Structure 1
């Protein structure tokens, strides 16, 4: 099977045209496809949200950060504007409390495979139905920036947990603990107050939490700067032992 990997599809697309394709399928493709390709074949895209919600490069992360209870994979006809083409089919899936970006990427990847397989014959026969998106309902999901990797401790407790889940397992959201970056990769909320705001608290024999406004953020997996990710028990058997009683800070 010939493999063609253009650096810039906007200028380097002749091999695509020469192949005279009947159908072009993209998924998580970070470049705008030029009109010359859009005009050469039926071009469809698989996008990881329920369009028109979350157009853009980080729909999965934004859905988690906003604490949505469902997401989905949209099969759409490609257009010259980003993620604005007519909708062919949407497959919806629930977002569970255990999901982070890693698990949701995996689930949506499997959903995308099933979706295109089920629609392939319809597309090739020219029998697909196209529904225009409602522009009034469009929202955008910009790519995560480096500044957004800094966990915002001023937001409400539930949204903070949403940010943690959105950034896990990569790149990982972090606070400053004892002068070092500490990525919080997996956590849950338990109601109540045990200490001063943003203070690390010891939980049981080998647990660690972070006091928030109305909850304790129970840490389950963390990664200290320069160290591998580890479960909280392993962390508390080492460098984590000194953290209870200290205050977590937001990065500048």
Structure 2
């Protein structure tokens, strides 16, 4: 098929590479404009643009895809279908109607759950046991189009946002390559989304990582995993920011802690310190923290952290 591909971050790059490998003709790659990075302000190309340049594909980087002159530019390319993956701009109905087979989106959730910007991390934050990828026929709404095909994968108890991102990126590439010939042959039946089951998720922000130890240990464990590597979960220790990179729920009896002993401490208190972890009481349960990063220091195991920093039972966050 002749394809216009629209995408920006590394999640979309995997799909573009798979489409190229499958032998489809990518007539144009549309991605966000180059953005300044760091103190130098040097322009950085998107992952998708980098991939396109490696394969000598034409690149189009409109500030606003909906403008008439940009729509006119798209119409110059005789594409059968537009494939969209984390592009970062909303397509108008006029654009959706250009290609013969319309526009399809690679979305990293099992729609209609988790429409929006951060479905991968939100699934972990909510304690979901599974997630997946949906190939959707795009409509004017935000992730509201008919479902064409889905694949499900489990979420392990140790899974992080970054790890799940990588898995779903690969799955998205595999699934779009599977779907394209089926779309061309008319073998996929669009299934309308059940609006009663629809949920939404917004963009990630740094303040989401603040650890409220009045919440349960399960919620805090999910927070640590879901926001790893960005924006990361954090608390404060002696006035300094402490990022928490690894933590898990533990049981009092397995930590040789009695219920009576724990009742003496408020939530947010360290109730045990061992050579490679410290245990914090939460609003419901115990959280064992095993990897941290103190402000101004590198990321390290708690074992190494404790070599240079003394923590005592009774310390509160």
TM over 0.5: yes
| Deviation readout 1:181-222 (Å, 9 max, x if unpaired) | 111111111111565231234532243222224433111221
Q: Distance in 2 between matches of 1:36 and 1:214?
A: 52
For residue 132 of structure 1, the aligned residue among 186, 192, 209 is 192
Q: Distance in 2 between matches of 1:170 and 1:90?
A: 27
Partner residue of 1:85?
A: 145
Q: Distance in 1 between matches of 2:211 and 2:82?
A: 39
1:237 counterpart SS class:
helix
Distance change (3 Å), C-alpha of 1:223 and 1:14 = farther
For residue 7 of structure 1, the aligned residue among 49, 63, 67 is 63
Partner residue of 1:167?
A: 227
- The answer to whether structure 1 residue 22 and structure 2 residue 91 are counterparts is no
Q: Which runs of 5+ in 2 are unaligned?
A: 1-56
1:241 counterpart SS class:
coil
For residue 72 of structure 1, the aligned residue among 123, 132, 140 is 132
- The answer to whether structure 1 residue 233 and structure 2 residue 291 are counterparts is no
How far the C-alpha of 1:59 sits from its partner, in A, is 1.0
Larger Rg: 2
Segment drifting more, 196-205 vs 21-30: 196-205
Q: Which runs of 5+ in 1 are unaligned?
A: none
Q: Distance in 2 between matches of 1:188 and 1:202?
A: 14
For residue 281 of structure 2, the aligned residue among 196, 211, 217 is 211
How far the C-alpha of 1:95 sits from its partner, in A, is 0.5
Partner residue of 2:103?
A: 43
1:31 counterpart SS class:
coil
Q: Distance in 2 between matches of 1:187 and 1:205?
A: 15
Segment drifting more, 51-60 vs 198-207: 198-207
How far the C-alpha of 1:28 sits from its partner, in A, is 1.9
Does the 8 Å CA contact 1:178/1:243 hold for their aligned counterparts? no
How far the C-alpha of 1:79 sits from its partner, in A, is 0.8
Q: Distance in 2 between matches of 1:205 and 1:234?
A: 9
Does the 8 Å CA contact 2:269/2:281 hold for their aligned counterparts? yes
Runs of 4+ that moved beyond 6 A: none
Does the 8 Å CA contact 1:188/1:217 hold for their aligned counterparts? yes
Does the 8 Å CA contact 1:6/1:13 hold for their aligned counterparts? no
How far the C-alpha of 1:244 sits from its partner, in A, is 4.9
Partner residue of 1:107?
A: 167
Partner residue of 1:149?
A: 209
Does the 8 Å CA contact 1:187/1:217 hold for their aligned counterparts? yes
Task: Say what the alpha-carbon RMSD is for the aligned residues.
Answer: 1.8
Distance change (3 Å), C-alpha of 1:220 and 1:205 = closer
How far the C-alpha of 1:69 sits from its partner, in A, is 0.5
- TM-score, structure 1 length as denominator? 0.91
Q: Distance in 2 between matches of 1:76 and 1:8?
A: 23
